[in-house]
Chains A and B, each alone.
Chain A
Amino acid sequence: MKGKAWKFGDDISTDHIAPGRLFHLRSNLPEMAKHVLEDADPQFASKMSKGDFVVAGNNFGLGSSREHAPTIIKLAGVNAVLAKSFARIFFRNAINIGLLLVECDTDKINAGDELELDVKKGLVKNLTTGENIKITPLPDVMIKILDDGGLMAHIKKHGKFDLV
């Protein structure tokens, strides 16, 4: 996976990603995706390219349980979200809907850097600076859900939870 880094700060909330003023678009997620992260960076949705990365600081996705938040990030074509840490419900939701999250030291990434993500090797390669950044591995439970294509796909495949 290769793409460009879009840099955000700490505490990017679900209101930044999928705000309440767009509540009526929850039944039309492709339309809502055109506004993804608009309140954190008004340029992002219109200027990003498919395959780019969202790169943030601590506590990305704090706030609401709205699954629409990770869903529109995925629908917009973002490859993965890289952050120093994620809020709990967002973390679960993203994996459930098949959006890849990467916990790593994002201070080593600047806005506009070209990144290559190698999940198997557990590395983010910053092609602009030449630096390799180590990824904190996901729990096995979440890798299983991601590998099956999300939680609903996991349940359909196994007929039950097959995680523990």
Chain B
Amino acid sequence: MPQTIAEKIISAHGGRAVKAGEFVIADVDVTAVQDGTGPLTVAELKKAGFTKVVNPKRTILFIDHAAPSPRSELSNSQIVLRNFAKETGAILSEIGEGVCHQLLAEKYVNPGEILIGADSHTCTGGALGAFATGMGSTDVAIGMALGKTWLKVPETFKIAVNGKFKKGVGAKDLILHLIGLIGADGATYKSLEFHGDTVKNMNMADRFTLANMAVEAGAKAGLFETDETTRAYLKEHGRGDKFKLIQADEGAKYERVIEIDASKLEPVVSCPHTVDNVKPAAQLKNIKVDQIFIGTCTNGRIEDLRTAAKILKGKKVNAGTRTFITPASRDVMLAALKEGLIEIFVEGGASVQTPGCGPCVGVHGGILGDGEVCLSTQNRNFQGRMGNPKGNIYLCSPATAACSAVNGYISDPRDMK
């Protein structure tokens, strides 16, 4: 029977051919936690008497959410992860190395694998043709201890994107548009499978942006076929031998097919307090921005920083608009240094932060004041997300963020000279 990507990967890990709707116990290749969820995973394992993880070389503990830690309680939780790495041989990713999803892509997850991570944006790995999905601390604890998890094989929505983006429009606008179209629960429990010419012509950075936000429509995974672009990315990151061709079968069954003409899209912004509250940037030009944040697992890659630097080069950020830029990983930061992007940002009046999740999770690095507006390249704008329920968060692309940083108001990048 023809299969979707989700059905194929889960079948290969469950010992039998499965179709959407079935329940299966599946082998897990990679497990991951971060400093917000990992200490609970460790506590659950210890309470249950588990002293080992089955596959320490593919068990990764990331310290990225409070990096560096702003409080003693969080510093103490981070010690729990460091000790657990020593006890079990699991890999520790220290402060400064970067955001878990970026590092999982750069170093750890491969096409055709199953990754479960105790962070909702684990779905980012789907861009590499891996079934990558977010779960809670206990689910991941069991994955670490037994090398297995239970899954309901998801139904799949085929997202077919064709046409060329207009100038100033890109992957972030596409995914915000899609979420606006189907709603924040439009794909609950589903797998999104991205197809079409636009997607085939996309670099990996843009594919990661799309996969990353699958969960913002409620989806369990955001999956891509693998191709020469995937192969080149893996090779560049020292894992050329891990390439595997992942494709949906001709005739695979999709619950829904959504066609999008990329050439008709315009720069869009998600308005407070839900990701599906999407409006054209051009309609929001009267909104003054107090804080700009460019970074995160959604848009903190070198390609995103290049886009921002191109706009900010030789310009200053608006005096009333503090601007924070956070590369998603150490490698991204190094590349940005070597290419002179950091110099452009700093000369332009922006500040550059340690690679990590930064202000996106409301722990440190840019908590909003009452009534303040933040325009961010992150993936979520829930009330209270950035540390203050009285703050207002808008979401956009790196191009829209950089233009708005200069103007001090939400701006359409197509208007920028």
Contacts and interface: CB of A to CB of B under 8 A. Distances in A.
Interface stretch (A46-54, A55-63, A110-118, A126-134): A55-63
A164 B138 contact: no
Interface in A26-74: 26-28, 39, 58-59, 62-68
Contacts, number: 150
Contact of A152 (B76, B138, B152, B382): B138
A23 B74 contact: yes
A54 B318 CA distance: 45
B152 A150 contact: no
B23 A67 contact: no
Contacts of B24: 164
A39 B37 CA distance: 21
B385 A20 contact: yes
A24 B71 contact: yes
A16 interface: yes
Interface stretch (B184-192, B231-239, B254-262, B305-313): B184-192
Interface string B158-193: 000000000000000000000000001100110000
A151 interface: yes
A28 B218 contact: no
A92 interface: yes
B39 A93 contact: no
A96 B152 contact: no
A39 B384 contact: yes
Interface residues of A, number: 43
Contacts of B142: 151-152, 155
Given A59-B185, A59-B218, A92-B139, A23 B148 contact: no
Among A67, A156, A160, max chain B CB count under 10 A is at A67
Interface in B295-337: none
B118 A87 contact: no
Interface in B384-406: 384-389
A8 B215 CA distance: 22
B25 A23 contact: no
Contact of B23 (A24, A68, A139, A150): A139
A154 to B, nearest CB: 9
B388 A21 contact: yes
Q: What 7 pairs between A and B have smallest CB-CB spacing? A: A20-B362, A67-B136, A93-B136, A59-B185, A24-B73, A13-B382, A15-B382
6 contacts: A24-B73, A66-B36, A89-B120, A89-B136, A155-B48, A155-B145
